[in-house]
């Protein structure tokens, strides 16, 4: 049984230092000092959706659209693999040119080009249950789909008519298909209340997520929300720490948005329970066009060359890079329970 919303609200009301200390101790006990590295590849910035907060929204004609070719993606993945990266996150808008058949060929190509042992995470929006199944059969291991906000009215408004229930249905399809499932939310979206902050965390716990992505909302002037205030680092850190306490076995990345909002943002998340970093391996020529929000931290730096800098910074924090696959302990636990249940039935 997951925590009640009132308990979560009480947790959130605790002094920030207490939360951070408790979360960091839990992270150390359950995950150790290693920080999993994922190579983030932003393969298309075309999107048929029109989410009010996002620079990739279809209504934004101020960005130059691109989509990487299969060859470019495979070349990029191979280069990162040779530098030791074993997990790749393919993220993009809901681009109709990337049909499921094409994505399946890509996933098979990645596994064939580098190694079947490499983990492929997809983050390319809502698809049908059948499509999720085909992608899993082609070798996709994990899927990231943030619910963004647990408030159904706000969700529908911010995502231009797409109901929260549809997002949750997709998350349920992903779980049933056998993916390691990630979701999460933005911090500081317009209309966020204390009650909603607790509801966001409760939804993560109710979904028993394997991975949780939490990042501040950053106002983008090229969107209808451009004049609003962004989320704060302090609130993002508070939500990260509370999330670690509620979901001790989940993998939690220190997100690019936190690093873009404030210098040291990702380090602050790592100190508050996060245990994953996602250096950007997208070819530099495309990087500046994947502008979800202004000031994106990874536009100039090559994620792979950055590994050495990251290693140095982690060492100062008493942490270290871990280049393994880094399956979520929450996911492994679920697999064991499912297998035991199946054995008990036979
Ligand atoms: N299209 C897919 C989707 O929406 O799930 C994946 C790509 S989308 C750009 C990845 C994430 O970017 C979203 O889940 C959202 O939380 C985040 N994002 C979009 N606009 C943002 C903004 N202005 N500030 C912070 N995060 C943002
Ligand atoms: Fe498209 Fe995702 Fe941006 Fe929404 S958040 S506009 S679905 S890329």
Q: What is the pLDDT along the chain (346 residues), one digit of tens a residue?
A: 688 999 999 999 999 999 999 999 999 999 999 999 999 999 999 999 999 999 999 999 999 999 999 999 999 999 999 999 999 999 999 999 999 999 999 999 999 988 888 999 999 999 999 999 999 999 999 999 999 999 999 999 999 999 999 999 999 999 999 999 999 999 999 999 999 999 999 999 999 999 999 999 999 999 999 999 999 999 999 999 999 999 999 999 999 999 999 999 999 999 999 999 999 999 999 998 999 998 887 656 676 777 888 889 999 999 999 999 999 999 999 988 888 777 777 6
Ligand 1 pocket check for 215: Cβ under 6 Å = yes
Backbone torsions φ then ψ of 26, nearest 5 degrees: -65, -45
Phi and psi at residue 85, to the nearest 5°: -75, 135
- Measuring CA to CA, which residue among 197, 210, 247 is closest to residue 334? 210
Q: What is the CATH number of the domain that holds 130?
A: 3.20.20.70
What range does the domain containing 60 cover?
A: 5-345
Number of domains in the chain: 1
CA nearest neighbour of 277 among 307, 247, 245: 307
Instruction: Indicate which residue's Cα is closest to atom 20 of ligand 1.
Output: 54
- Give the pLDDT confidence score for residue 70 in this predicted structure: 97
CA distance 140 to 126: 15
Q: Is 314 in the pocket of ligand 1 (CB under 6 A)?
A: no
Q: Is the CB of 56 under 6 A from ligand 1?
A: yes
Quick check: CB of 56 below 6 Å from ligand 2?
yes
Report the nearest-CA residue for atom 19 of ligand 1.
54
Cβ of 222 less than 6 Å from ligand 2: no
Distance 92 CA to ligand 1 centre (A): 9
87, 39 contact by CB (below 8 A):
yes
Distance 45 CA to ligand 2 centre (A): 9
Q: Which atom of ligand 2 is nearest to the CA of 92?
A: 8
Question: What is the number of helices (H) and of strands (E) in the chain?
Answer: 14, 9
Of the candidates 274, 260, 282, 157, the one whose C-alpha atom is nearest the C-alpha of residue 214 is: 274
> Which residue among 45, 46, 47 is best mutated to probe the pocket of ligand 2, counting the most ligand atoms within 8 A of its Cβ?
47
249 three-state secondary structure: coil
Structure-token match 């299969």, residue found: 70
Q: Residue with the nearest Cα to atom 6 of ligand 2?
A: 57
Q: Name the token pair of 22.
A: 């408790």
Any idea how long the chain is?
346
Cα of 346 to ligand 1 centre, how many Å? 43
Rounded-to-integer distance, Cα 37 and Cα 325, Å:
8
Tell me, using a 6 A CB cutoff, whether residue 146 lines ligand 1: yes
pLDDT of residue 345: 73
Quick one: which ligand is closest to 40's CA? 1
pLDDT given for residue 258 in this prediction:
96
Q: CB of 279 closer than 6 A to ligand 2?
A: no
Ligand 2, atom 8: closest residue by C-alpha: 93
Cα distance between residue 311 and residue 130, in whole Å: 40
* CB 185 less than 6 A from any atom of ligand 1: no
Give the nearest ligand 2 atom to 55 CA.
Answer: 3
Q: Is 63 in the pocket of ligand 2 (CB under 6 A)?
A: no
Mutation test residue for ligand 2: of 96, 125, 186, the one with most atoms within 8 Å of CB: 125
Cα 316 to middle of ligand 1, angstroms:
31
């Amino acid at each position: 049984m997951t925590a009640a919303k009132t308990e979560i609200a009480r947790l959130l009301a605790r002094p920030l230092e207490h939360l951070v200390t408790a979360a960091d101790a839990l992270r150390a006990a359950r995950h150790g000092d290693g920080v999993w590295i994922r190579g983030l590849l932003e393969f298309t910035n075309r999107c048929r959706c029109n989410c009010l907060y996002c620079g990739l929204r279809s209504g934004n004609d101020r960005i130059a659209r691109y989509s990487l070719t299969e060859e470019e993606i495979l070349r990029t993945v191979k280069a990162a693999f040779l530098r030791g990266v074993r997990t790749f996150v393919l993220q993009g808008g809901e681009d109709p040119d990337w049909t499921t058949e094409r994505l399946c060929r890509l996933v098979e190509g990645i596994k064939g080009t580098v190694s079947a042992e490499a983990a492929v995470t997809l983050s390319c929006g809502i698809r049908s249950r059948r499509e999720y199944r085909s992608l899993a059969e082609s070798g996709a291991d994990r899927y990231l789909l943030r619910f963004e906000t647990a408030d159904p009215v706000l969700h529908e408004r911010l995502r231009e008519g797409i109901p929260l229930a549809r997002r949750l249905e997709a998350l349920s399809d992903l779980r049933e298909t056998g993916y390691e499932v990630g979701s999460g939310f933005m911090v500081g979206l317009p209309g966020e209340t204390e009650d909603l902050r607790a509801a966001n965390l409760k939804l993560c716990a109710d979904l028993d997520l394997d991975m949780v992505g939490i990042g501040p909302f950053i106002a983008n002037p090229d969107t209808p929300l451009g004049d609003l205030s962004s989320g704060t680092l302090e609130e993002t850190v508070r939500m990260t720490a509370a999330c670690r306490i509620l979901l001790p076995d989940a993998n939690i990345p220190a997100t690019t948005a936190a690093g873009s909002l404030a210098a040291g943002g990702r380090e602050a998340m790592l100190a508050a329970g996060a245990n994953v970093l996602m250096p950007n391996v997208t070819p530099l020529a495309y990087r500046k066009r994947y502008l979800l929000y202004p000031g994106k931290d990874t536009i100039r730096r090559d994620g792979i060359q950055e590994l050495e800098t990251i290693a140095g910074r982690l060492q100062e924090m008493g942490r270290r890079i871990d280049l393994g696959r880094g399956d979520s302990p929450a996911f492994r636990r679920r697999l064991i329970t499912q297998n035991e249940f199946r054995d008990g039935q036979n």
